[in-house]
Amino acid sequence: MTTSTMTQETISYVCSTVRSRSAIELDISKSYLIEARLAPLAKRNGFGSIDEFVQAVKGKTKLGMESQLVEAMTTNETSFFRDIHPFEALRKTLFPEIRTKHAIQKSMNIWSAACSSGQEIYSIGMLIRENFPDLASWRVNLVATDLSDDILAKAKAGKFSQLEVNRGLPATLIVKYFQRQGLNWELQSEVRNMATFMKLNLIERWPQLPMMDVVFLRNVLIYFSPETKRAILEKIRKVMAPRGVLFLGAAETTMGLDAAFERVQADSSVFYRLK
Ligand SMILES: C[S@@+](CC[C@H](N)C(=O)[O-])C[C@H]1O[C@@H](n2cnc3c(N)ncnc32)[C@H](O)[C@@H]1O
């Protein structure tokens, strides 16, 4: 039984719009989530209920409301150095390997796909600054993309709350790379400027991307159907450099989806490489 205050029609419309615009799978069992996310949005747009708001979205009475609805249903949970192991693998094994491999051209490309508010790409930036000072003379291309304009704006700004910096950052890195700004912490421009943020919807046409040495595609495939996961992994393959590596979230795998990848276990971290 559902205690939802939304009509069945509203719930169906939200689920199908979110699915077609982002591939995120929602159904009636998530109506509590739809309600929690859309009630504040409806109110902010001046509507008395989610039903009224959705009617207006359907009628396209105000530009951008459909995108707001879709973005409100994304989960932006992230943190600095999330699940630490991928970053350890970069530090111990992968960056030293890439440094040797690209010693002549002195460039590398790293992509945080579904970057949310930027903690993932900025963690990589700080890791490079801390451990590989010689890469300062390289062209280190840190690309970070997401579907949501709002979250990309937050990521670009590089401003984080006390709670956000406390999640995953040791005090030494906070002091070294952030300046206090009122209640927030602002990331130093040298690290901020290492990253390029772009809008990219994983299920739409992708802009031209360089061949990636490392791809972080973490904690986003879980929201998609197996067919969508397969289609995205196939596209990811096409932008991976030879010997490139793919990191997925702890609950995600290519197994059973794309046989072109092999799972590599290095210490406590798992990544995927093309066979
Ligand atoms: C849970 S966050 C993951 C953040 C980061 N990768 C991490 O693991 O900490 C998921 C992100 O995926 C984005 N997202 C959802 N659907 C997407 C799509 N179709 N294309 C691109 N990004 C999408 C959301 O906007 C959200 O920021």
CB 215 within 8 A of CB 246: yes
CB 48 within 8 A of CB 40: no
* Residue 28: pLDDT over 60: yes
Q: What is the rounded CA–CA span in Å between residue 14 and residue 16?
A: 6
The pLDDT mean for the chain works out to: 96
Q: What is the rounded CA–CA span in Å between residue 169 and residue 186?
A: 13
pLDDT for the residue 2: 43
Question: 3-state class of 270 per DSSP?
Answer: strand
* Residue 101: pLDDT over 80: yes
Please state the rounded mean pLDDT for residues 71-79. Answer: 97
CB atoms within 10 A of CB 212: 21
Q: Report the separation in Å between the CA atom of 149 and the middle of ligand 1, taken as the mean of its atom positions.
A: 12
Retrieve residue 222's tokens: 């879980």
CB 14 within 8 A of CB 65: no
pLDDT for the residue 9: 96
Please tell me the pTM assigned to this model: 0.96
CB 63 within 8 A of CB 138: no
Gyration radius of the chain over CA positions: 20
Retrieve residue 37's tokens: 């996310």
| Ligand 1 atom closest to the CA of 79, numbered from 1 | 9
Retrieve residue 266's tokens: 């290095």
* Residue 144: pLDDT over 80: yes
Testing ligand 1's pocket by substitution, the residue of 116, 203, 204 carrying the most ligand atoms inside 8 A of its CB is 116
pLDDT for the residue 4: 63
* Residue 12: pLDDT over 90: yes
CB within 8 A of 65, min separation 6: which ones? 45, 53, 56, 57
Please state the rounded mean pLDDT for residues 216-220. Answer: 98
Nearest to 260 by CA among 185, 50, 240, 56: 240
State which H helix or E strand residue 241 sits in: strand 240-248
Q: Report the separation in Å between the CA atom of 151 and the middle of ligand 1, taken as the mean of its atom positions.
A: 10
Testing ligand 1's pocket by substitution, the residue of 121, 124, 147, 216 carrying the most ligand atoms inside 8 A of its CB is 147
Please state the rounded mean pLDDT for residues 90-107. Answer: 97
* Residue 62: pLDDT over 90: no
Task: Pick the more confident residue, 152 or 64.
Answer: 152
Please state the rounded mean pLDDT for residues 216-242. Answer: 98
| Domains of the chain with bracketed CATH | 8-72 (1.10.155), 85-274 (3.40.50.150)
Q: Report the separation in Å between the CA atom of 207 and the middle of ligand 1, taken as the mean of its atom positions.
A: 17
Please state the rounded mean pLDDT for residues 43-48. Answer: 95
